[in-house]
A and B are shown apart, each in its own frame.
Chain A
C-alpha cells in the first residue's frame, strides 16, 4: 500500500498526499507512516514506530505478564490518540483488559520524578528545568504510562472499542480453517475495516487508524477438540496470519499479536509466522529463572530479542544500534535499552570471570568484593 510520499529532497510546503492522522507521524528514514506502540523505547528499537499496514508479533515471556503489558500500552496509546480499537482474546477478559488500561504520564509529573538514573551530577543546574516538548499538539507521538493510574472512564466510554472473545457467528465450516474461531476473528476485522472506512481505497471524511490487539493467539484455547494432530493447529495459524496480513495491508491499520511460543514444540511454525509478520520480537523474562539472581542482570526484568524488523515499502529495514537489548519496568515507564552492566559498587582488584554466562556483547568481567583488598 502506498504510504510513502514521493521521494524528493525538496520538501514541498503544499499538502502532502498522506492526510494528517492524530497519533501518527512520518518516518524520518523513508516517509513511511508510523504509529506509536505505546512504549517510546519500543518505538525507538524498531525504527521509530510501527508502520501503518503492518503486523507485529510478540512472543510471550514464560508467564505472559510483560507481553500482556505491552499490549495494554499499545491499546492505551490507541485511545489517547483517538484511534479505533479491536481487542481480541480467548484467554483473557477483553473488557477488563481495557478497563485496566494505564493513564498517560502527565508532562509535569515526568519532570518532578527523579529517577536515580536521571540524576545529573555535572550539569546539575539543568536538573529542575522543564523537559522540552518537541511536538506542541496534545496528542503527540508516544507516551509513557503510569501503571498506578487507570485511564479516565469518560475517555474510555467515548472511545471506539470493539471486543472479540470467541465465535460471533461468522463461523464458516467450508473455509479452509479447521477451527472456525480464526475465520470468525478475520471476518470481524474485515467488517470493522469496511464499516469504519479504514481501507486504503475508502474515502472517509476523516482518516483514522484501526488498532487490533490479539492476546495469546495460538494458545491451547485456540485448539479445536476435533484437531487430530498439531499439524492442523499449525496450518490454521499460518493461514490466519496470512489472511491477517492481507487485511492489515489493505487498510490504515496495525495489528499486534502476542503468541505463547514457549508452548510450541516445533520452532518451524514460529519461523513461518515470523515470516508472515513484519516485525517480530521475543520477550524473555528473568522471573523464576536462574538469571533472576545473576548480578549482571540485576537492573533488568528481562531480555528483549529482536527477530525481524519491518521492511515495507523499502529495501532495507531499520538497523538497531544493538541487538543485545533488555527491558525493565518502572511504575511510569517501560524501558527497553542496550544491556548495560551494573555499575561497580566496590573497588577491588580482583576480577571474577568464571561464574558468569557468556554474553554476546563483549564483557570482560565483573568486579566483586574480595578478601584480597589492598
Chain B
C-alpha cells in the first residue's frame, strides 16, 4: 500500500536516522501522500512519529492511516506517536489577545517568539517520545504555512535549522519536511531552495505538464545527495523520475509512460 512509494524513494533500504528528507509540493499537485507513506513505513518498522501538523488536523492523518493500515490515535495513546496541531493552537489564539505572553498564543507577539515557542514544543515532544521508542521521524506538514502566518522567511529558516540541530543532539531522529511552492511566489521559492540545499533527499511532486489525466495523478522526482562520497557529478545529484496515481487505499508508482489503466 505505502510500499511502492517507499521503494521508489529508497527509504525501505536506507537508514534515515540523522537525515533530512525534503518534500517539495509544487502548486497544482498534492504531495501529502509522501508524508503518509513515510509515516506508514516508520510505523511498520516499529519506530515512532512526531507530527507537526500545520496544514491539516490530526484526524486527517489518522483517517488516511486507517486506509494504509495503521491507527494513529491508538498509537498516540500508546506513546508511539506525538502530535502538535498548529491549527488547534491558532484556533485557541483567536479572541484571547489579553493573555499575551502565553506560550500557546501564536497569533500575537513577536514572530521570533512564536517560532521559538513552536520549536520548544517540538523539542519537548521529541525528547518525550525518544524515551519510549527509537527511531523517530519528525514530520512537518507544511513549512510554507508559517509564511502565511505572517512569519518572515528568516524566522522560518531559523526554525528549520533548529530542527536540524535536533538531528545531532537527539540520536535516533530523522526529519521529513514538506513545503508548498508556487511559481512567482518569491518567499516560497527561497524557502524551498533553502530547504533543498540542506536536504539529504528531495522528493519533488508536481502535476503533469501536459494537463490532467485519469491514469496519472502527477509526477514525482527523487533527488539523492551524497555528501560523503566524492563529487562525481552524476552520483552527487542522482535523479529519478516517476509517475504516480493516487487511489483510495494506496498509491501506485511507475516509470513515466508505463501507466496502464489501473482503475
**Hey, which bits of chain A sit against chain B, CB under 8 A?**
1-4, 6-7, 29-30, 170, 172, 174-176, 186-187, 190-191, 235, 238-239, 241-243, 245-247, 249-250, 266-268, 271-272, 274-276, 311-317, 319, 323, 360
CA of A241 to CA of B100 in the docked complex: distance in angstroms? 23
Chain B, residues 182-201, CB within 8 Å of chain A (1/0): the string is 11111010000000000000
**Hey, which bits of chain B sit against chain A, CB under 8 A?**
27, 30, 32-33, 36, 56-57, 59-60, 62-64, 66-67, 86-88, 90-91, 94-95, 97, 100, 107-108, 144-145, 147-150, 180, 182-186, 188, 211-212, 214, 217, 246-251
Q: Which residues on A sit within 8 Å (CB–CB) of B246?
A: 315-317
Q: Which residues on A sit within 8 Å (CB–CB) of B184?
A: 266-268, 271
| Pairwise interchain contact B248-A315, C-beta atoms closer than 8 A | yes
| Pairwise interchain contact A175-B97, C-beta atoms closer than 8 A | yes
CA of A7 to CA of B71 in the docked complex: distance in angstroms? 12
Known A-B contacts A7-B67, A271-B27, A276-B148; A315 and B251 likewise in contact (beta carbons under 8 Å):
yes
Give the number of residue pairs across the A-B interface with Cβ within 8 Å: 118
Q: Sorted from nearest, which 4 A-B pairs have the closest CB atoms?
A: A316-B246, A271-B182, A313-B63, A246-B87
Q: Which residues on A sit within 8 Å (CB–CB) of B88?
A: 246, 250
Which of A186, A190, A191, A316 has the largest number of chain B CB atoms within 10 A?
A316
| Pairwise interchain contact A313-B185, C-beta atoms closer than 8 A | no
Contact partner, A316, options B59, B180, B247, Cβ 8 Å: B247
Q: Which residues on B sit within 8 Å (CB–CB) of A172?
A: 97
| Pairwise interchain contact A313-B59, C-beta atoms closer than 8 A | yes
CA of A230 to CA of B63 in the docked complex: distance in angstroms? 39
Q: Which residues on B sit within 8 Å (CB–CB) of A170?
A: 95
Q: Which residues on B sit within 8 Å (CB–CB) of A272?
A: 148, 182, 185, 188
Contact partner, A239, options B144, B148, B251, Cβ 8 Å: B148
| Pairwise interchain contact B149-A271, C-beta atoms closer than 8 A | no
Give A246 Cβ to nearest chain B Cβ, in Å: 4
Q: Which residues on B sit within 8 Å (CB–CB) of A275?
A: 27, 144, 180, 182
| Pairwise interchain contact A6-B66, C-beta atoms closer than 8 A | yes
Q: Which residues on A sit within 8 Å (CB–CB) of B247?
A: 315-316
| Pairwise interchain contact A242-B148, C-beta atoms closer than 8 A | yes
CA of A314 to CA of B64 in the docked complex: distance in angstroms? 5
| Pairwise interchain contact B248-A243, C-beta atoms closer than 8 A | no
A312-B60, A314-B67, A315-B250 known, 4 other contacts, Cβ within 8 Å: A243-B94, A268-B182, A314-B63, A317-B246
CA of A276 to CA of B145 in the docked complex: distance in angstroms? 8
A-B contacts, 5 listed (Cβ < 8 Å): A238-B148, A247-B94, A311-B32, A315-B67, A323-B212
Q: Which residues on A sit within 8 Å (CB–CB) of B188?
A: 272
